[in-house]
Chain A
Amino acid sequence: MKQQTLQMEARLENLPAILGFAGECAARAGFSAKRLAEVELVIEEAVVNICKYAYPAETGLIEITCRGDRTSLCVRITDTGVPFDLLAVAEPDLYADISDRRIGGLGCYLIKTLADEVTSRRDGDRNVLELSFLAERTVGKETGDD
């Protein structure tokens, strides 16, 4: 499949359009409905992070590029906002009770769990997040759920 790119303002109102674009790419890659839902979730988490935190002063752009074939999908999401390394975000304490459980950190954790590979880097003035998905998730899969 050829590479496709979408560029939009990083605003929450654009989330449905961005997810629609990524979903179509994943569907063309032949992913199952279950895996499509996971891809959508990961991309929502990444895009929402950018919409909420990348541009504190004024609105900026978000660019999403998808490239896929029958077995895998690569998604690159870039912004020119505040430097951010998703992989440096502390993992939530999954065993804390309601009072101690921190609100936040879950989005990054879901990204790291549901994508097969995540790389995050600063390239000049851009944050570059690269996510790759296999048609069947290989990481974070719980045992005995099939």
Chain B
Amino acid sequence: MEIQVKKEDKVTIVSVSGKMDAVTAPDYEKRLQELVAAGDKVFINDFSDLVYISSAGLRSILATAKDLKSRNGKLLFAGIKGPVKDVFEISGFGSLFQLHESLDSARNSIG
């Protein structure tokens, strides 16, 4: 799994590629926690190149989202497809979060 972080004016884009599993998910959570602690509040997770996610990844996302919500922050998703989208749908994450087809559409929704 690789994580790239890009800070823009209103939003922090976190692009995750590869596999988010029980071994790699803690790295994602730690990285996001650092950004949240540094004051970032609005995040778009770009999952265009994420090919696999397990419940460990879902747990890390939910833990981050709970933390952000308590700080009036927000976590959006862009580019989710294939098996990752299936797992999101099965676990109810599809209705828990805003999922956007593209990064642009996610950016536009923030306004």
Q: Which residues of A contact B (CB under 8 A)?
A: 12-13, 15-16, 34, 37-38, 40-41, 44-45, 48, 51, 92, 94-95, 97-99, 101, 103-104, 106-107, 109-110, 113-114, 140, 142
Chain B's interface: helix, strand, loop or mixed, by majority?
helix
Q: For residue B60, which residue of chain A has the nearest CB?
A: A103
**Pairwise interchain contact A16-B23, C-beta atoms closer than 8 A:** yes
Contacts of B90 in A (CB 8 A): 109-110, 113-114, 140
What's the least CB distance linking A107 to chain B, in Å? 4
Would B22 and A101 count as touching, CB distance under 8 A? no
Q: Which residues of A contact B55 (CB under 8 A)?
A: 45, 106-107, 109-110
Tell me, in angstroms, the Cα distance from A143 to B52 when the chains sit together: 22
B1 CB-CB contact with A under 8 Å: no
Q: Mark B79-111, 1 if CB is under 8 A from A, else 0.
A: 000010011011110011000000000000000
Check B54–A48 contact: CB distance below 8 A.
yes
Contact B92 A44 (CB under 8 A): no
